[in-house]
Amino acid sequence: MAAAVTRGPVAALWRSSLLTNCNFLIRENLCVRTGLLWKRPPSRTFFSDRKKLHTAPVGQVFRLRPFHVLVATGGGYAGYRKYEDYKLEQLEKRGIEVPVKLASEWEVALYKSVPTRLLSRAWGRLNQVELPTWLRKPVYSLYIWTFGVNMKEAAVEDLHHYRNLSEFFRRKLKPQARPVCCVHSVISPSDGKILNFGQVKTCEVEQVKGVTYSLESFLGPRISTEQLHFSQAPAGNSFQQQLVTKEGNELYHCVIYLAPGDYHCFHSPTDWRVAHRRHFPGSLMSVNPGVARWIKELFCHNERVVLTGDWKYGFFSLTAVGATNVGSIRIYFDQDLHTNSPCYSKGSYNDFSFITNNNKEGIPMRKGEHLGEFNLGSTIVLIFEAPKDFKFHLKAGQKIRFGEALGSL
């Protein structure tokens, strides 16, 4: 009797094990017959109080794809760079000079592998989502606290007025918040931080101290003289010399970085005429000072819109440079401009002339007039021709606001 009781559970366990093995062999046979290139790993079965517990095959749980690995690696590295940038900012605040350490080719390639264009388009879609009224104040208050936004300057201070993030980013200012300087020749087109400025002496221009970019790569080939009111320099000269059209003049530049908490619209820095627009599709890497110090020719990698024309002293250009989450660059008078498109050809650019048979003057802009806007912080680069006695009224690293003086004669 005792032997029969003992054999009962053992026999049942043996039969269960036999059935499990038979099922495994049947599955293996089916995989081979259907011509699968891989064999499905068996699921493990455990017994708990006579109940079978099945676990998923390891291959199904941990199935990594190259895209996932690329995004995770690139995103993690971008986060590491963000932390390094923060440490550099702290050193700058203490007055400690930070040595230049440029990124290697593989580091730039790894950073560019992050799908920043896709992320920026997703961010743009998110910005358009209307927030519930009860959620607006907490969300905007968090952003204000994080980036130090001064809402007392906004034309509408009530946070409930802004239906989505996009409207909040593009908020208008009170008329008296940014008085335009009428004395100086060139004013700041936006709020921001001065990264670099000075005279352009070669075809390599500094984006920050010690890190340069190619002037020709940044602006692209010289546009035809038919669109300009001045003659072109001889072809034998360097690209930088070709931009200087009047004897006794020099070429100058100024780089202004717009932080996420800054006023996002930009304005005309002087009285000038816009004759031509050139749009460069490209990457959307961050353009904060830490990254600008790390990646050579950062501005040439990124998507940008170059407006060129002339003012009373010769050549004048304003370039809006895109950045991560700033794929959208809007120029108010250019309805044909569409930035951050899903598909583009590397190294390509699109030209558009505002000089037509019916309009010989192009687009006249007055100093301080609204010109365009970003969705988030980014960079404005001015490159212009002026007499040799032109003087900047700036210091590298200083904060500046739209309407304040950049320089004068």
pLDDT per position as a tens digit, 346-389: 778 999 999 876 677 889 999 999 999 987 768 999 999 999 99
Question: Average of pLDDT values for 242-267?
Answer: 91
For residue 362, CA distances in Å to 232, 277, 337, 365 come to 18, 11, 16, 10
- 1 — pLDDT class (breaks 50, 70, 90): very low
What CA–CA distance (Å, rounded) separates 56 from 62? 10
| Better pLDDT: 286 or 266 | 266
Higher pLDDT, 380 or 345: 380
* Residues 190/262, Cβ–Cβ less than 8 Å: yes
Cβ distance 403 to 202 under 8 Å?
Answer: no
Q: Which residues are catalytic?
A: 191, 267, 378
Q: What is the pTM of this model?
A: 0.74
188 near 401, Cβ under 8 Å?
yes
Cα(208)–Cα(304) distance, rounded to whole angstroms?
A: 18
Find the mean pLDDT for residues 391-405. 92
Q: How far apart are CA 229 and CA 225, in angstroms?
A: 8
Q: Does residue 329 contact residue 303 with C-beta atoms inside 8 Å?
A: yes
Strand, helix or coil for residue 174: coil
Buried b (16+ CB within 10 A) or exposed e, 331-354: beebeeeebbeeebeeeeeeeeeb
pLDDT at 33 exceeding the cut of 60? no
Nearest to 376 by CA among 219, 192, 174: 192
The phi, psi pair for 271, rounded to 5°, reads -80, 115
